[in-house]
Structure 1
Amino acid sequence: MGPDKHTVRPGGRGILATAVTVVCAVTVLAAPGTAFAAPNPSPSPSASTSPGASASPSPSASPSVTLPPDKDLEAVRDKLDKLYHDAAVATDAYNAAEEAAEKQSAEIVELAKKIVQGQRKLDGLKARAGRAAAAQYRSGGLPDTAQLLLSDNPSQFLDGAGRVLQGERATKGLIRELTQTQQDLKQYAADAADQWNKLEAGRKAKAAAKKKIKQRIAAAEKLESNLEKKQKERLAELEREAAYQAQTAWLDTGILDEIHTKASAAGKKAVAFATAQIGKPYVWGAEGPDSYDCSGLTSQAWASAGQPIPRTSEEQWKQLRHVDVKDMRPGDLIIYYDDASHVALYIGDGAIIQAPRPGRTVSIAGAGSMPILGVVRPDA
């Protein structure tokens, strides 16, 4: 199926259309929190084109329940956003340390193999050198001139002298090889020690990141647990409103009128994989198959398409090819926030699939519902 079928329009077919049906069934896309392109045949940048959308949706609390002013809950929401953002940054650091540790461990194993092979080679060279020394001892160690004078057959001696010269050259080559092998072994040992030091530093960084993640998530969960049911409902509504307004502002730029690029074959596979993960929980540091963090989802989606990419959102931003937002196509990755701490998979029609944060599940959202840093293409 072509990327033009991955839409949220009525009558749309394909993976995304099925996903939207499922998501709607569990009210993830319930108004007024619609966070992606309006489901009309021709997406309009105007907020009024989204059925059920409202700039100021009515509060979910009943008149008999008194809630704190929205500004107080907004303060709570801002604090939660900061805590979860800090946790996301720490998660990226944790994942980076994990990835580096795997590479360093593999490098140490390879260096260990080289050291073993080098030591065997050195032992063999030493044995050859010992045999050469013994041969020289047996010849009496006399100078060539003396051996020529004492020889009963000077002609035979001269023939032998040529072979001796060859032997001397071979001995010099043996000495050079011995010296080089010893130097190689010394370098391998130094490299291994360096990798061990990096591994240890990475272990400490990973432990520090893990501690920070747990602290931030625990603080956020504690803050949420202190809210009453109606407050939690209103807080969720405020969050949906903020996402909706951000998405509407993004659509108001007319950006969807400029995006006409179709998905590549690999991009379709990545979208199909991500769509199949909808509903699975966010777990920091996870990369499937039962749970994901944001970059775990995107990296596995592209791995399923036969295109390995960096594990973290920061490295995905650094290493993958950047493309203009107006040129993005389904399967591209949208990087969010100035520190590249979040990433999602663009699926077309102004929508993304993402693993949002702790306590949430893999879901569809509006591509413009968060501050966009840029877009990268794994299969450029």
Structure 2
Amino acid sequence: MRTGERGLLTAALTVICAVTVLAAPGTAFAAPAPPPAPAPAATPAPDKDLEAVRARLDRLYHDAAVATDAYNGAEEKARKQSAEITALTKRITQQRQRLAELTDRAGAAARDQYRTGGLSPTARFLLGDDPGRFLDDAGRVLQGQRAASGLITDVSRAQRDLKDYADDAAARWKELEADRKARAAARREIRRQIDTAEKLESRLEKKEKERLAQLEREAAAKAQTAWLGTGVLDGTDGTTSVRGEKAVRYATAQLGKPYVWGAEGPDSFDCSGLTSQAWAAAGHPVPRTSQEQWRQLPHVAVEDMRPGDLVIYFDDASHVAMYIGNGKIIHAPRPGRDVTVAGAGSMPILGVVRPDATHVPAPPAGRATGPGGGSSPR
């Protein structure tokens, strides 16, 4: 075989071998990688899960509202205690000045007795040259003795009063320190509940937040419809007092301002901060907290409520709103929300109080209304 033919045969065999190897069963070889599959779109949580989230948020914000009421109560008490301490300090200063004056007078009386030699009236009569003058002097001495006795009594009373004022002031300082600790504890609890709620909401997708808000509105509307369906407002005529009108005007002017716990305006409010400031603007101050408003203010039947009345919510009186008529309220709902108008029956009603009522009936036993179940303050 010639050299050229031998080369052609060798090349042909090489190609045949290569094809045979590639075609053999089980032979591994690299194939083009398929394009990456697109990431699956996030599936929004079902309504059942969002309802559980809503219930959890309701509890968190409700607990924050309870802690806020405790904080506001301690803050109000601290203000009163500070005013009492200031008044006591003033009285202590005045009493010290009076005691100093009395001490000076007592010293003057003692010096006068020293100048007379401390002789008894009988001795001065026997040694004196003018009995008539002595009798005149004796009368003045008797008056002086009575004055000295009264002076001693005044000094003792002033010392006793000064001690009482000082002890009272010390007790007030002790109470003030206890309330400071109570405010600090309430503040920590508020922050903890709100932080937990905000973290829970932050984990929701945009569509989930929108759906959650829709579920909240639906729950509130359902509760309001059920409440109105009882006919509870059928007999109301919408009239109110002059002060009630002023309170409603004030509350209406605050629409759109943010909720901030512990705030009393003018730029932000919590629920009882809004109602207390509204009635203060109407010339009729009320307690600072929703629980004290429920405890101290006159109670009226829900079917008799009128604009300006305060609607108290939940069994623990942890939320309050102002009734404005036609089944509506104005309230500062909770952190992250603004002062708004809502249905009066969109939350569970505990009862109604009227700040400017002329008659104070006994507080009703138990809950004051029927339906009205719903979410926590919104």
Smaller-chain TM-score bracket: 0.7 to 0.9
TM-score if structure 1 supplies the norm length? Answer: 0.82
Counterpart residue identity of residue 117, structure 1? Q
C-alpha distance in 2, partners of 1:221/1:313?
A: 24
Q: Does residue 124 of the first structure (1) align with residue 124 of the second (2)?
A: no
What secondary structure sits across from 2:233 in the alignment? helix
Contact kept? 1:261, 1:327, Cα under 8 Å: no
Counterpart of 1:239 (choices 216, 220, 223) is 216
Does the alignment pair 1:260 with 2:260? no
Distance 1:240 1:374 in 2: 23
Matches within 5 A, 1:92-131: 92-131=69-108
Amino acid aligned to 2:141? V
SS in 2 for 1:331: coil
Q: RMSD of the TM alignment (CA)?
A: 1.1
Mapped to 2, the partners of 1:228 and 1:174 lie a distance apart of: 82
Q: Give CA deviations for 1:78-105 in whole Å, capped at 9, x if unaligned.
A: 1100000010011111111111111111
Q: How many residues align?
A: 317
**Distance between the aligned counterparts of 1:66 and 1:146, measured in 2?**
115
What does residue 286 of structure 1 align with?
A: 263
Counterpart-to-counterpart distance in 1, 2:176 and 2:55: 36
Tell me how far apart the structure 1 counterparts of residues 137 and 120 of structure 2 sit (CA, whole Å): 13
TM-score, normalised to structure 2's length? 0.82
> Does 1:179 pair with 2:147?
no
2:194 to 207, 210, 217: 217
CA distance in 2, matches of 1:223, 1:335: 28
Higher relative contact order (CA 8 A, sep 6+): 1
Secondary structure at the counterpart of residue 238 of structure 1: helix
CA distance in 2, matches of 1:172, 1:78: 76
Indicate the structure (1 or 2) with the bigger Cα radius of gyration.
2
How many Å separate the matches in 2 of 1:66 and 1:329? 47
Confirm or deny: 8 A CA contact 2:290 2:320 kept in the other structure.
Answer: yes
Percent of paired sites with the same residue: 69
For residues 294-333 of structure 1, the aligned pairs below 5 Å read: 294-333=271-310
CA-to-partner distance for each residue in 1:142-184, whole Å, 9 max, x for gaps? 1111111111111211121111111111111101110010011
Letter of the structure 2 residue corresponding to residue 155 of structure 1: G
Report SS of the residue matched to 2:323: strand
Counterpart code for 1:312: T
Q: In the alignment, which residue of structure 1 is the partner of 2:47?
A: 70
Distance 1:153 1:318 in 2: 78
Who is 1:200 aligned against? 177
Give the drift of 1:261: 4.8
Q: Show CA shifts across 1:35-54 (max 9, x none).
A: xxxxxxxxxxxxxxxxxxxx
For residues 347-358 of structure 1, what are the structure 2 equivalents within 5 Å?
A: 347-358=324-335
- Contact 2:261–2:335 (Cα < 8 Å) also in 1: yes
Counterpart Cα distance in 2 of 1:327 and 1:150: 92
- Secondary structure of the residue that 2:317 maps to in structure 1? coil
- Give the Å deviation of 1:243: 0.8
1:154 aligns with 2:141: no
Q: Structure 1 residue 236: deviation in Å?
A: 1.0
The CA distance in 2 between the partners of 1:369 and 1:271, in whole Å, is 19
The question of whether the paired residues in 1 share the 8 Å contact of 2:238 and 2:325 is answered with no
User: What is the deviation of 1:241?
Assistant: 1.3
Post-superposition offset of 1:260: 2.0
Whether the aligned pair in 2 keeps the contact of 1:351 and 1:367 (CA below 8 Å) is: yes
SS of structure 2 residue aligned to 1:257? coil
Distance 2:154 2:351 in 1: 53
Q: Which stretch shows the higher mean deviation, 272-281 or 260-269?
A: 260-269
Written as runs of structure 1 = structure 2, the 5 A alignment for 1:17-36 is none
Q: Which residue of 2 aligns with 1:228?
A: 205
Residue number in structure 2 paired with 1:81: 58
Deviation of 1:73 after TM superposition, in Å, equals 1.2
Deviations 1:264-320 (A, max 9, x none): 111111111111111111111111111110001101111111111111111111111
Q: 2:375 matched to which residue of 1?
A: none
8 A contact 1:262–1:330 mirrored in 2: yes
| Distance (whole Å) between structure 1 residues aligned to residue 262 and residue 173 of structure 2 | 23
| Native 8 Å contact 2:300 2:353 kept in 1 | yes
For 1:303, give the aligned amino acid.
Answer: A
User: Alpha-carbon deviation of 1:67?
Assistant: 3.1
